[in-house]
A and B are shown apart, each in its own frame.
Chain A
Amino acid sequence: GPKVLQIPSHQIIDMGQMVTLNCDPVSNHLYFYWYKQILGQQMEFLVNFYNGKVMEKSKLFKDQFSVERPDGSYFTLKIQPTALEDSAVYFCASSLPGLGAYAEQFFGPGTRLTVL
């Protein structure tokens, strides 16, 4: 099936530093999402993005977080500065246009972020 890629698979960073997580979505998808999963828990929605804009965001999407997809390249999640509680696996997802029945979200393999 369609594949979402995420780079890197694991990132270790010191608290306070900036980190950028990269997502290569399915080629014809136009909606992009980030989810956060703390070890042993469920995925929690962070943000979704369409046509250069944040469409929805949750309370987890703090002011230190930002997303962009410049010129059809990677869809990125930037955290600046990082905090210890940002340690988690971050999953990117993408879907076809439209929010109706056929907009299945396809997930990437995740980036494990460790903040020391």
Chain B
Amino acid sequence: NAGVTQTPKFQVLKTGQSMTLQCAQDMNHNSMYWYRQDPGMGLRLIYYSASEGTTDKGEVPNGYNVSRLNKREFSLRLESAAPSQTSVYFCASSGPGQGYGYTFGSGTRLTVV
């Protein structure tokens, strides 16, 4: 089925370890996003990529880096994980213009111990 695919679905890291969350979409969307979801706080934007070759910081970028590898793929990297990064991470993509709405992946549940 067409959509947004995220891997892995679950991950446990030790403090200081690094990892990359992968995201791919097959809808030919230009824009891609990484959000984190924490209880009572809704979704907060970490980074976004308006189009292939560009990335920009969102509301909570500290401790993260991103790569827009091509039009389909947008990865999120934690260089040195901290317990404060324990969260559920969602990747999303959207078509032309903000009125299109987002298609979300199923999420990655990350625990940092």
On whether the two chains bind one another, the answer is no
Contacts from A to B (Cβ < 8 Å)? none
